[in-house]
Amino acid sequence: MNIQNTAHFVMQSKGGAGKSVVSALLAQYLLEKNPNLMLIDTDPSNKTLSSYQALNVQRIELLNKNKLIDQSKFNGFMNEFLSNDNPMIVDTGSGDFLAINNYMITNEIPLLFTETGKSMFIHTPINFGQSREETLKCLMSLSANHQDTPIIIWENEYFGENEEDIMSMPMIKKAKNIVASIKIHKMNADTEEKYFSIMLKGGLTFNEVALSEDVENFGLVQKASIKRTKNKIWQQLDALFASDN
């Protein structure tokens, strides 16, 4: 898959599911392929992605006072994306999920991308724990609403480990547009999860951690652990973007 001319919308109606983590990881990966990646943060209540200073994120308040999409703002970043061949990531929030999803359906945004030579992908985090059913319900709703749009699952095992092959689940297999899954594996809470969380909470990228002189939080042991976490995710993304999805 050529990442040029691709738009990646990170969407999940459940708050706290890990959308911004997915966006930050995907952004760092795509930036290694194209430093001109567009990064948009529309989350009305959470500025997590915007806190990454190294990522040069554009924060856009899409909802107007009536909780509807401000068309001029949506059209603004869309026109910028459509005017060149650089990829784009849009990190949405649970607070604007319904408005954005409805706007995309009503205005046939996926069709617009197709007609202009672009490709659209939806990335959806799934949790394993109390939020499993709610996050899966959103996934299946997105699949039904955007049947011609490839959807990539991000298995977020922070809240619990997934003991089954999610791509083999009957409802997933039935949904022809759910094309792949990326796993953020369950980590040891005392070591790798702790180190990874410090990086995320600090709004730091993998590159910043690798160059960090903060030996208390990012000594050689912590850096090695974080690098292993990165490699596990990058290997999966390499396989995804090397495919024909």
Res 203: pLDDT: 94
Distances from the Cα of 54 to the Cα of 155, 159, 215, 241, 244, angstroms:
25, 28, 20, 23, 30
Residue ranges per structural domain of the chain: 6-188
Res 244: pLDDT: 62
Nearest partner of 178 among 220, 217, 131, 121, judged by Cα = 121
Q: What's the pLDDT band for 16 if we cut at 50, 70, 90?
A: confident
Based on the number of CB atoms within 10 Å of its own CB, is 230 exposed (0-12), middle (13-18) or buried (19 or more)? buried
Structure tokens of 25?
A: 């990881």
**What does the alpha-carbon distance between residue 90 and residue 88 come to, in Å, rounded to a whole number?**
7
Distance, CA of 75 to chain centre: 21
183 in Cβ contact with 237 (< 8 Å): no
| Model-wide pTM > 0.85 | yes
**Does the pLDDT at position 241 exceed 60?**
yes
**What does the alpha-carbon distance between residue 79 and residue 56 come to, in Å, rounded to a whole number?**
19
Classify strands 151-156 and 178-184 as parallel, antiparallel or unpaired.
parallel
Structure tokens of 119?
A: 């490709």
**Does the pLDDT at position 245 exceed 60?**
no
**Across 219-244, average pLDDT:** 93
CATH for 6-188 is 3.40.50.300
Neighbour tally for 106: CB within 10 Å: 9
Residue 49's Cβ-side half-sphere holds a number of Cα atoms within 13 Å equal to 30
**Does the pLDDT at position 188 exceed 80?**
yes
22-73 pLDDT tens trace:
999 999 999 999 999 999 999 877 778 988 999 999 999 999 888 889 999 9
